[in-house]
Amino acid sequence: MNQHVQHNQDAAPRVVTRADHTVSRANISRNALKVLNRLHQNGYQAFLVGGAVRDILLGREPKDFDVATDASPEQIGELFRNSRLIGRRFRLAHVHFGREIIEVATFRGGADDVETDGGGRILRDNIYGAIHEDVWRRDFTVNSLYYNIEDFSIWDYTGGFDDVQNRLLRLIGDPEARYREDPVRMLRAARFAASLDFTIETETEAPIAELASIINDVPPARLFEEVLKLFLKGSALSSFEHLRRYGLLQYLFPETVACMELPNAGSFRDLLRAALANTDQRVEEGKPVTPVFLLAVLLWGPITQRVAAIANERHGPVFWLHRATDEVVEGQQQYIAIPRRLAAPMREIVCLQPRFANKGPARVRRLLGHPRFRAAYDLLMLRIAVGEEDPALGEFWTEAQNEPVEAENPEEPRPRRRRRRRGPHRRRPRDQDDG
């Protein structure tokens, strides 16, 4: 089906009975079931919605569980003492169970009463309604399936059940209007297509390249959160390729894209792909991943290009690398707001690279003890793999981590320290008996 899903508020849902779908309570978090059952027992409608239903149908393990209900945020707060109301654009409740949070949202009302700006972007959305209104406010059909805790059926208003089976990503409503309402939906389309291995439906795909620039209307802090979802969830390489294909990457990392398009940028492109593939492998193996290393790799090309443009003989290469890193990071903040807690260690990873060339025993010991050594070493090894550095350098530092570093020659004279002369006001008082 290539026609987008038209809004029909009076349409009844297709009800998929428990016998005809694979969603089981065994696949649902115990805490999500507690929330669903308590809402239902107190007379409210309660549905598991969104990605959890989609993922269970696909045989995947959901990462989080969202609940939709006709209870108001205040009523949810009364039922759950462990809940907290959040959100300005749309009010909802977070119900806390230790480290797990179940998000509970009241059904949203019709789109006609939503406050938007001149470009159609939603500013405020605290309009509550019924399930048959809420469904048309969701983004993609595969995210608009409602699992009913009352009889364990799935309610489908938009054809999302078939789209999951056909692995098709399709927007609800007119695609151009929905992207203008919230430009982040274009990033979500790229992310879902990459992570789920779905095909983006023709009409959903068509406006993305033309509207890509409105991504810059989104606050940089929100874009940073979206970048983490794109690159740290196990589909970084595929997400990267989707962002490039639809012209979205240049509005997230403009200097990175400009650097990739240079005639001599082959090694940087290879470096990026190798780092993204390595990140995906670590996620698959259950190993930790960090945005710090990924940001260092994404900005490595622009930083080295900047060094080449500004360096002169007045200072050494380390000085120019520090300066170029600061300038590139400052420019990047206009597009994606990198928090200081991540920007500072990212600078260290980049600026440690020249120190690998110094193999003096004392320098080696200091570098091995640096808190960013391992991440800097990983970047070095990637640079060696794409031909930027001599493989012998990598062999030296690999061995240095496994073998004790040669001690300094004890016979070598140490430089004499200059003793600070005490001023008259700090002179030690003489004993009266001394004179």
Residues marked as catalytic: 64, 66, 139
DSSP string, 90-119: S-EEEEEETTEEEEEEEPB--GGG-EE-TT
Identify residue 325 by its one-letter amino acid code.
T
Distance, first Cα to last Cα, the chain: 106
Query: How many of the other CB atoms lie within 10 Å of CB of 8?
Result: 11
Query: How many of the other CB atoms lie within 10 Å of CB of 287?
Result: 9
Q: What Rg, from alpha-carbon coordinates, does the chain have?
A: 28
Can you tell me the distance from the alpha carbon of 182 to that of 214, in angstroms, rounded to the nearest whole number? 9
Task: Please enumerate in sequence order all residues whose Cβ is within 8 A of that of 425, keeping only pairs 6 or more positions apart, or say none.
Answer: none
24 class by beta-carbon count within 10 Å (0-12 exposed, 13-18 middle, 19+ buried):
exposed
Q: b/e for 343-356, b at 16 or more Cβ within 10 A?
A: bebbbbbbbbbebb
16 class by beta-carbon count within 10 Å (0-12 exposed, 13-18 middle, 19+ buried):
middle
